[in-house]
Structure 1
Amino acid sequence: MRVVSGTHKGHRLYSVPTHKTRPTTDKVKEAVFQIIGPYFDGGVVFDCFAGSGGLGIECLSRGAEKAIFVDKEPKAIKTIWDNVRALKLEDHVEVFRTDAYRAMKAAGKRGITFSYVFLDPPYKKFSYEDLMQKLLEHELLEDGAVVVCEHDISEALPREVGPIRQFKQEEYGSNIGVSFYQKEE
């Protein structure tokens, strides 16, 4: 696993030493960023169910100004910090060991809004519709924000959740699906 592009291109990332996380492969990561834009002019990223933090770190490498990482697993939190420190990104991140819903509620209370959201929960254990509903309920999405959901291809994701509309869905390999959404302005 590595940073695919940007200021930290080629830097190897530590993986979470557990079977409970599935890192997004470099191939999938590269494809995702070709769809949502190869580079960013600022913006705040919410990497939820972050694992090693690879997606949020990729955004920072490509020009995002800040990333918030959330995961419940202690080994994931340690790995995120190891990767962040190795790249000297401490001033651009916040890392929280909590569940997704608590993190969303806390971010809403702080008035944080996100330009990019990555939802990559354990397959078939969370409702993507519920997660997106919470993003709306806590007013966490900027107008035009992009939400990327990685899921098992057998899962049927909604075409829209309120003003969040799916604009693309891709399949990678035999079981990985990625659905792309944007909040209408």
Structure 2
Amino acid sequence: MRVIAGNFKGRKLNSLSGDNTRPTSDKIKGSIFNMIGPYFDEELVLDLYSGSGNLAIEAISRGAKKAYCFDNHFKAISVINENIALTKQGSDFVVKKMDADKGLEWLSSNKLSFDLVFLDPPYAKQTIEKQLEKMLELELFAPFCKVVCETDKKVDLPEEIKELSLSKVQSYGATKVYIYRYQKEE
């Protein structure tokens, strides 16, 4: 697993060992960033199920301003911090050990809103639609936010979730990637 483009291009990232994690492959990651825009300009990023920090690090490498990484597992937090250390830009990241629901409440209490959101929960524990609705309720999306959801290929997410509209869906083997766009109704 490597950083594909940008300031950290080519840096090898660590991943969690074992069968409990499923890091986004370089192929899928490359496709995601081709779909959402290959480079960024000071965006705020949320990686809610960060795992190794792979997606957040790629976004910062490509020009995003700051990334918030959440995971519930101590080993994942250790790997995220190791990978961030490889970037030598630790101040561009905020890492929190807490589950997704507590993380959303923490973000709301800090009045943060994001331009780019990654949701890649463990397939067996996916409640993406419910979490997106909660994020909408907590006003965590900046105008025109892009939301990238990775699911098992058997999962079908709706074309619209309140103010989120599906802009693209793509299948890669056992994985499906959904990209939503946030447009708040005036």
- Do these two structures clear the TM 0.5 threshold for a shared fold by scoring above it? yes
Matches within 5 A, 1:26-41: 26-41=26-41
3-state DSSP of counterpart to 2:58: helix
Aligned equivalents of 1:178, 1:97: Cα separation in 2 = 25
3-state DSSP of counterpart to 1:41: coil
Of stretches 50-59 and 12-21 in structure 1, the one that deviates more from structure 2 is 12-21
Q: Are 1:109 and 2:109 counterparts?
A: yes
Q: Structure 1 residue 36: deviation in Å?
A: 0.1
Q: Are 1:66 and 2:66 counterparts?
A: yes
Aligned equivalents of 2:152, 2:137: Cα separation in 1 = 26
Q: Which residue of 2 aligns with 1:100?
A: 100
Normalising to structure 2: TM-score of the pair?
0.97
Aligned equivalents of 1:158, 1:109: Cα separation in 2 = 29
Q: Structure 1 residue 21: deviation in Å?
A: 1.0
Aligned equivalents of 2:3, 2:56: Cα separation in 1 = 10
Q: Structure 1 residue 126: deviation in Å?
A: 2.1
Give the partner amino acid of 1:80. Answer: I
Matches within 5 A, 1:29-178: 29-173=29-173, 175-178=174-177
Give the partner amino acid of 1:110. Answer: N
Normalising to structure 1: TM-score of the pair?
0.97
CA deviation profile, 1:20-64 (whole Å, cap 9, x unmatched): 110000000000000000000011100011100000000000000
Aligned equivalents of 2:34, 2:148: Cα separation in 1 = 13
Give the partner amino acid of 1:138. Answer: L
Aligned equivalents of 1:45, 1:89: Cα separation in 2 = 15
Query: Runs of 5+ in structure 1 lacking a partner?
Result: none
3-state DSSP of counterpart to 1:151: strand
Moved over 4 A (4+): none
3-state DSSP of counterpart to 2:125: coil
Q: Structure 1 residue 66: deviation in Å?
A: 0.1
